Structure 1
Amino acid sequence: MARSAQSPLARGYLIAYNAASVGAWGWILFRLIANMLANGGDYRSNYAAFGWELTLIQTTMVLDVVHVALGLVRSSVLTTAIQIMSRIIIVWIQCQLFNAPMVVESAAFTTMILAWSVTEVVRYSYYAANLLGANLSLLTWARYTFFFILYPVGAGSEATLIYKSLPAAHAVDPKLYWFFCSLIFLYLPLFPKMYMHMIRLRRKVLSPAKATVKAGSTPLKKKKKL
């Protein structure tokens, strides 16, 4: 997510927002690990332990969409909104509204939170570092490498939770059931599209040529043949 030209006030706000987001998602990751250790690795009580905290923190990510809409951040409003809203639907409807044991006590809930929290800690740390003018190569590598595993785990877990919630959705309203069925099928074209986009972005950011330029070297020009 590229940053547009900002005033000192906007830049300071974004630094604070990203730092707070690192802390918030770091807290969720800590709560996940601590609760698993306290319960001998049992994942079924994770939602009961910190589900409400997760819901609030995930909901604040609506600000990511607002930042793009206001021009504070250069990105696609539609793409950002789709990614954020799919998560908000899960935490508010699948988890808070339905609150079915087959959803909140499933292994997919735990793998989803693990993928989300690690992803966001790395992502927001990367953004904050960029705003501060810090070029941390290890953080950049993590930002554009961890997604190879975290993105499929996160998206797969989300789709699994939506699937598990279908009986509860049907009990509320058959239209809601079909809405979530269509949402599951949307993952099929959207996942590979976003995944390949991240792969292309990784090649662009971590390309050897770019690394050489950053190091202050100038590529040698090929001599013209006589």
Structure 2
Amino acid sequence: MPPKSKSKPQPQSSGLNLQKIYLTLYNTISLLLWTTCTIQTLLHLLPPTPTPLPQIFTNVYPLLQITQSLALLEILHSMIGLVRAPVMTTVMQVASRILLVWGIMFPFGGVVVGETGIGGDGVKTGDWGFLGCMAAWGVTEIIRYGFFALQVSGVGVPGVWGWLRYNTFYVLYPLGISSECIMVFKALGPAGDVSPLYKWFLVAVLGIYVPVGSYILYTHMIAQRRKALKKKL
């Protein structure tokens, strides 16, 4: 009998290759955009002449619009099965940011970035809200998109980067939520001037998203952390 021919390894399908290339490109672009937004904000705050907060907002916001709006694609990715993220969790994560960027910052940027001061130190609630969002969002997304870019591309995720991915949310998520709430709260007045319905919509968001939505997302991230730790054991 003739010797059995060795089976040749099956080449990867072009569809899987395109998916890998697309997701690597998407995550890398998102990483670069968030890194730029975060560094740009930080540079404006550095001495000896820190930029006034309203001017920082004016300078950073156009790129923030593009950067955060790009995340809408993640809902599509989840819906068509391109990634394994749950659809509803992804919708909640993206929708809250879109509301802040387009529903709060876009129409009411001058108000939520600080017109009403508290105390005598000149620091305003809106300032803390905007800076808190930029810090929490920026660091979180740099870590997250960097993690996914390294993972999908096949380069491999360094241990320290994995640790940051599954541990920093304990601090960054509460910072982000509280900062977002400050900005929404400050927008209630001008939103009421536009439409009472919009004001009450924002009130409903505060009343529902904070105790319910934030709990769901926070516990989801804790569950993801447990899964990641189990894989290492």
TM-score category, normalised to shorter length? 0.7 to 0.9
5 Å matches for 1:114-129? 114-129=135-150
Are 2:122 and 1:113 equivalent residues in the alignment? no
**Partner residue of 1:148?**
170
- Structure of greater Rg: 2
**Partner residue of 2:63?**
53
**Partner residue of 2:202?**
180
How far 1:137 moved relative to its partner? 1.1
Moved over 6 A (4+): none
> TM-score normalized by structure 2?
0.82
How far 1:58 moved relative to its partner? 0.6
5 Å matches for 1:1-226? 7-37=16-46, 39-40=49-50, 42-101=52-111, 103-105=112-114, 106=126, 107-133=128-154, 134-186=156-208, 187-207=210-230, 210-212=231-233
Structure 2 Cα separation of the partners of residues 87 and 184 of structure 1: 14
> Residue 141 of structure 1 contacts residue 206 of structure 1 at CA under 8 Å; is this kept in 2?
no
> Residue 100 of structure 1 contacts residue 168 of structure 1 at CA under 8 Å; is this kept in 2?
no
Residue identity matched to 1:30: I
How far 1:104 moved relative to its partner? 2.3
What's the Cα RMSD here? 1.6
> TM-score normalized by structure 1?
0.85
Task: Give aligned-pair identity as a percent.
Answer: 31
SS of residue paired to 1:71: coil
> Residue 94 of structure 1 contacts residue 162 of structure 1 at CA under 8 Å; is this kept in 2?
yes
> Residue 46 of structure 1 contacts residue 110 of structure 1 at CA under 8 Å; is this kept in 2?
no
How far 1:33 moved relative to its partner? 0.5
Consecutive unaligned residues of structure 1, counting only runs of 5 or more, are: 1-5, 213-226
> Residue 147 of structure 2 contacts residue 157 of structure 2 at CA under 8 Å; is this kept in 1?
no
